[in-house]
Copies of this chain bind each other. A is one copy, B any other.
């Protein structure tokens, strides 16, 4: 939180104390508060879930309604306290957790006008991600960082992959629409594309499935294609995680020729011979 203290308005007295509790989970008080908070979040999400189950709603509807408002008011109070005690309220409000904290309370108020929207409260579950910060799981954060890094350095390959898959799926789905005709459940091209994705990803609901012989033949092609390309993101990620884990990700580029695959322990650029 150093950036807040340095960059924000100086706070003192009860505000400083409050900030330690709300934001600084390394302090004992902050840690206790964070644990209580996470417990409340999970409880409130379970409340919302139970509220959606018809049988429970009919017997304990009032209790659940009361609990929902209870948690919402608590979280609203917490949100305003965070705004007040943070040196830079706007910065907090615009941060990832600031937005999530706000989204976690709004649906209850909207549900007064628009019944049903209270189910969106489950977005509160995102607040649980704080758990990584609270428990100071440096090792877990390292693991997460490694994976994020692997995904980042492979996002171009994954973009190429997804564009290719999407193009393929549009063509195959349309072909299936022409082959099977709406009589066999392929009622439109978008729906046929939906089928193609269901099949390619090997999900296979079976809500739509080809009935004619040519349709089944095309389905076989889609399946074998899916079976083969399911390997592609896996392979890409494997290589990236491997490189991230063994430090090849720390590859440098040559200042002279800009070649970018230099091993982290190289002394000379392997393309132009410049000493590094």
Contacts and interface: CB of A to CB of B under 8 A. Distances in A.
Interface in A247-266: 247-248, 258, 260-263, 265-266
A160 to B, nearest CB: 5
Contact of A203 (B204, B239, B245, B269): B204
A37 interface: no
Interface size class of A (residues with CB under 8 A): 35 or more
Interface stretch (A13-21, A71-79, A216-224): A216-224
A129 B167 contact: yes
Contacts of A233: 227-228, 230-231
A125 interface: yes
A188 B270 contact: no
Counted per complex, copies of this chain come to 4
B232 A237 contact: yes
A238 interface: yes
Nearest to A247: B261
Interface stretch (A2-10, A22-30, A88-96, A137-145): A137-145
Given A147-B157, A235-B238, A270 B263 contact: yes
Interface in A152-170: 156-163, 165, 167, 170
A165 B191 CA distance: 27
B268 A188 contact: no
Nearest to A236: B241
Interface string A109-131: 00000001101101101101101
Contact of A201 (B202, B240, B268): B202
A97 to B, nearest CB: 14
Nearest to A225: B201
B272 A270 contact: no
A271 interface: yes
A207 B228 CA distance: 23
A13 B15 CA distance: 74
Given A126-B171, A202-B202, 5 more contacts: A45-B170, A53-B189, A234-B238, A242-B242, A267-B270
11 contacts: A52-B190, A54-B187, A125-B167, A194-B219, A202-B202, A202-B203, A205-B206, A206-B207, A207-B209, A268-B272, A270-B270
